[in-house]
Amino acid sequence: MKPTYEAISWQDDHLVILDQTQLPLREIYSDVNTIGQVWEAIKKLKIRGAPAIGIAAAYGIYLGVKDLESRNFTSFSVEIDRWIEYLESSRPTAVNLSWAMKRIKQTIFANKDKDLDKIKEIILDTAKTIHAEDKRTCKKIGEIGSKLVKNGAKILTHCNTGALATGAYGTAFSVILHAHDDNKEINVWVDETRPLLQGARLTAWELQKTEIPFKLITDSAAGALMNTGQVDMVIVGADRVAANGDTANKIGTYSLAVLANENDIPFYVALPLSSFDLNIESGVKIKIEERDAEEITQFGTTPITPKKTDAYNPAFDVTPHKYITGFITENGIIKPDFKKNISSLFD
């Protein structure tokens, strides 16, 4: 069952986004007309999830140049580089953003002999293609991953990996969705995912929308559930995977992987091939975004700590590849030796 809601859609001459900062209390769709609004939407998590960020940024480049008056390709390309650098500054960890920007730039240079107005049309067409491809990719991830899920499985997931984070279906969520559609009587444990509660606010919302049985838990409850035999598998998403399989994902993912390993529970990462970064040898070199301390010291706008409390707020952590059972991709399941098997997909 394809979710009926869309995090991102292109309508006429602008983007329409489902503002994820308002969920689950309000379902508000906002028009996005400029590249500045795209940057803000990504930075402030109105749009989030690695694939969705890449899609939005691709449309953002078009919004940045559609009314640009350049006399030649050289000055046009300078503006493109400026807009790409600007968008990439919004969130540095998710590789899909830079992947989409690279693809846009390659397409532009492949058509540099064309009229600039035509190149602008090609940019928009490329963004639409990236969007459509992600929908197909996420569906395939779900179909492949569903085969790993046994009837009656108790699945634990972290953060939000559904249609809100992608073009459609999701990544880890797509596996869960397709297992449910295959009439497997699954139950899902949903980590609340501190500090911004993407699990409690967003994954719970998506599971309700798709009528999949679930229970919400605090992040700190996951270990106890694993230790008492109440988790059969863990499935998460990814924002960037290094060449050796080390994986950056929402903060708290590393802890889950260690706990799963301790309790002999399979730990899978579901993601599109665009989330692999073969230019990075290991997770040590992945840049981790640090966000404002207020996300920890406040709940919404309400302070929950003593005044002047200092806080460290990394948005992601890196899970070493040794804790990962396999990667679920649109081209199949990647198992160890990860460095060898990941590389072979891009040869």
Catalytic residue IDs: 239
Backbone angles phi, psi at 216, to 5 degrees: -85, 140
Where do runs of H (alpha helix) occur along 111-230? Answer: 116-146, 172-181, 198, 204-209, 222-227
Q: 3-state DSSP call for residue 7?
A: coil
Nearest CA-CA partner of 227 in 258, 186, 194, 252: 258
Structure tokens at 211: 């009528």
- CB distance 283 to 222 below 8 Å: no
Q: What single DSSP character describes residue 281?
A: S
d(CA 266, CA 282): 22
Nearest CA-CA partner of 20 in 139, 226, 165: 165
Surface-to-core class of residue 106, CB atoms within 10 Å of its CB (0-12 exposed, 13-18 middle, 19+ buried)? exposed
d(CA 203, CA 198): 7
Surface-to-core class of residue 293, CB atoms within 10 Å of its CB (0-12 exposed, 13-18 middle, 19+ buried)? middle
